[in-house]
A and B are shown apart, each in its own frame.
Chain A
Amino acid sequence: MIVHNMISRVAQRRAAAPHTSMFFRMMVRAAVLRRGRAISALLAMIVAAAVATAMLNLYVDVQAKLRREFRRYGANVVVLAKAGRALPGGALARIRSASGSGGIAVPFAYAVARTSDGHSVVVAGTDLEQVQKLNGSWWAVSAWPKASHDALVGNRAAGVVGTSGQPFELSFQGRTVRLNPVGTLRTGAAEDSRVYISLADFTEWTGVPYSTVEISAAGSTEEIQAVIDRLGQLLPAADVHPIRQVTEAEANVLGKMRSTLLVAAILIILTAAVCVLSTLTGWVSDRRRDFALMKALGASGRMLQGFFAAEAAALGAIGAMFGFAVGVGAAVWIGRANFHTPVTPRFSVLPAVLLGGIAIALIAAILPISLLRRVQPATILRGE
């Protein structure tokens, strides 16, 4: 009776004491002894995590990349002086500071001048360097004016002012100016009928101030709206609005691309998960004999589940982290290969990938183990 009590008390103490050192030793040895299977399971996990990370990274970043491509369309916000009035002095400086670091703001001033043989032609004064940044992808310009009194002549206006490359004269309200046609411009729109000169030359000659500022604001739809609101407050006497042709079409295409990428990402991550699941299931069912042995030695069902779950979670976590690193590298490479600018690694994706990896590893481990729990250890040890 006393012996029985002693044994039961020892057993209780033993049961209460933590088995940590044995636990970790078993886990590490399991991996070391069955290196081959553990490594292939880990590899599957790394590849799946890499693919998932690359896809998620792309999904988050591609929008920013595509928006940059859409900025080639030129201005998406315009500031117009209200009819009959001019923009207040210093408006351009205020607009430039309000439109943010990625924005380009270009002033335009217009006047109707006459050529020496009496034809009317529209002359525009602008900041030609900034126009090149704003519209360079679609203004087909043979040569940009650099010096004072150089002019860029639209290819239809060239028929009126003379195409031979000789300097020509234009007069506005009695004042004449002599311009050198340095290059021709072709756009297929209203610009083809105009002559463009620098704003300094224009104001010196006509005295007409700029009436329009075209702005290319970078960022998402909300950021652009914020710029418009800020400009509206800064310049209450002017009309500020988005160029809806550009902004609405951009929002439409980006929305469709985003949906397509999301679907692609989900499909690919699902496939990668299946790859991991099948490899891990194989690895776990390989450990049947270890499981049976531990059960025969007296491990409780819960402890066994805990042990294998911890193993699987460790595998999932390590694989996910390495996979994350590889995936980020792949995403950066894709960004460079396709968009010629690297994709910035999004570390916000790491928790999702880590949790996903651990979850899949756990699912792969728990299912076979809970199935095996019902089987007698002896059967497994016998080899059936």
Chain B
Amino acid sequence: MFLRLLYESFRRQKRRKLLAGVAIMLGVGVATAMIAVATDIGDKISRELRTYGANLIVTPQEDSLDVEIGGVNLKPPSDGAYLSEADLPKIKGMFWRNNIVGFSPMLPVPVTAGTQQNLTLVGTYFARHVLFGPQDFVTGVRTTHPWWKVQGEWPDDNSSDVLLGDRLAARLGRTPGQEIEIAGQLRRIAGVVSTGGVEDDQIVAPLPLAQQILGKPGAVRRVYVSAVTKPEDAFARRDPRSMSPEMYDRWYCSPYAQSIAFQLQEAIPHSHAEQIRQVAQNEGTVLSRIQGLMLLITLASLLASALAVSASMATAVIERRSEVGLMKALGAGNLAVAVLFFAEATLLALFAGAVGFTGGALLARQIGQSIFDSQITIQPVLLPVILTVAVLVTFAGSAAAIRRAVKFDPVYALRGDA
């Protein structure tokens, strides 16, 4: 009898059930989408913060002091140690290799270009294919210095074309496509680069060209690394050598800027790696503000969803007061009526909740695609959690209404005085 009542209730009152169901679907859908976005936003904004450029720098261990003003290096070229270019692909062999967005080696060399003396030519990667084992990836300044803009074209990494900084090009009166004499040989100017920094007065060239001019094949002065890191806390700043093995494992396996720098030093022999504080320090603050904001907004959305679901359930029950009165007049006890309503609510919440969850997951994916150009994935474990919460909220919403409905005198129901 109970099951028949349940079934008939759904079959006959489709419109009312539909309205309540739509409210539950919307509430669950919005809650799911907001939870998915809030849990993923830290990672997404972390990747967007990589447009600030490299946050780690690797230098030779025995490096001597830089004597440089405005990009012009006044140190004799023979001074100072070098890293080996052949060691660089090992960066992709580290534990945190998937957090490394890109790296760019730099080799500044003093040159004369035509009549200009005391110019600096910086050798680097533009978009170079690097092989490590089976992996093939592309890295270079186009990844680590995304604010560099080139008028003309980027030089090929295996060519001897160069880029002129825009202030230098203006001074020399050169445009892309022309040639310039560097260290006694004519080189083609592939483009003019504008960076807003010291490179505007320099020549930027592929690394092999710089190594050839310097006479040191395979040499690299420093490496800029752009990595996705976790905001720093007190644990991150501790000295790894003073930690117990379990704490060391935990530190090593967290993507702090310090632990990634530590691993870079392990991967590249005779190197010293540290964070570029201007980029690394501030991204932690910005990230924690954004995550805090998203958390509060998600809580607000969960509250709004819960209110929407309970309001619609309460309305749906109140509308059926006369039905309740009728059932009681026929002899049903309060408990039986309550159980029937709760059963209806559970079924509605489960079906509408499941549909809402799918809708929310699709919405989250759409948000990820259109705003961040990447996937926002939903953990499957979220489905039972959300369904349970939906059922609980539906109960809570209908409970007060059901209690009021069962107190309603059946006489009024039979008289039609709802």
Q: Which A residues are closer than 8 A to B by beta carbons?
A: 44, 47-48, 51, 54-55, 58, 62, 65-66, 69-70, 72-74, 78, 80, 83, 110, 112, 119-122, 135, 137-140, 156-157, 159-160, 186-190, 193, 211-212, 239, 241-246, 248-249, 252-253, 256-257, 259-261, 263-264, 267-268, 270-272, 274-276, 278-279, 281-282, 285-286, 334, 337-339, 382-384
Decide if B415 is an interface residue (CB 8 Å cutoff): yes
B286 and A334 within 8 A (CB): no
Q: Is B340 an interface residue (CB 8 A)?
A: no
Given A70-B282, A156-B66, A263-B371, 7 more pairs with CB closer than 8 A:
A69-B289, A78-B196, A157-B65, A241-B196, A260-B37, A275-B23, A281-B315
Of listed B277, B294, B303, residue having the most chain A CB within 10 A: B277
Q: How far is the CA of A110 from the CA of B71 in the complex (A)?
A: 12
Q: In the bound complex, how far is the Cα of B314 from the Cα of A216, in angstroms?
A: 55
Q: What are 16 A-to-B residue pairs whose CB atoms are below 8 Å?
A: A58-B293, A66-B286, A69-B282, A73-B52, A78-B196, A137-B285, A159-B65, A160-B65, A187-B277, A249-B51, A253-B286, A263-B367, A264-B37, A274-B22, A274-B308, A334-B296
* Distance from A247 Cβ to chain B, minimum over Cβ atoms (Å): 8
B45 touches A256 (CB 8 A): yes
Contacts A188-B277, A278-B308; A382 near B416 (Cβ below 8 A): yes
Q: Do the beta carbons of A271 and B277 come within 8 Å of each other?
A: no
Q: Are B278 and A272 in contact (CB under 8 A)?
A: no
A51, A69, A121, A339: which contacts B304 (Cβ < 8 A)?
A: A51
B residues at A contact (CB < 8 Å): 19-20, 22-23, 26-27, 30, 33-34, 37, 41, 44-45, 48-49, 51-53, 57, 63, 65-70, 74-75, 145-147, 149, 167, 171, 195-197, 201, 274-282, 285-286, 289-290, 292-294, 296-297, 300-301, 303-305, 307-308, 311-312, 314-315, 318-319, 322, 363, 367, 370-372, 415-418
A73, A256, A285, A334: the one within 8 Å of B278 (CB): A73
A249 CA to B23 CA in the complex, in Å? 40
A138 touches B26 (CB 8 A): no
Q: Could you tell me if A121 and B303 are in contact, using CB atoms closer than 8 angstroms? A: no
Question: Nearest residue in A to B415 (C-beta to C-beta)?
Answer: A383
Q: Write out the residue numbers on chain A whose beta carbons fall within 8 Å of the beta carbon of B363.
A: 267
Residues of A within 8 A of B74 (CB): 112, 120
A383→B65 contact, CB < 8 A:
no
Q: A245-B147, A253-B48, A281-B315 are in contact. Are A338 and B292 (CB under 8 A)?
A: yes
- Tell which of B51, B63, B307 touches A275, judged by Cβ atoms closer than 8 Å: B307
Q: Which residues of chain B are near A58, meaning CB under 8 Å?
A: 293, 297
User: Would you call A188 and B27 a contact (CB within 8 A)?
Assistant: no
Knowing A62-B293, A263-B367, say if A272 contacts B51 (CB, 8 Å): no
B69: which A residues are within 8 A, CB to CB? Answer: 110, 112, 122
Q: Name the residue of chain B whose CB is nearest to the CB of A160.
A: B65
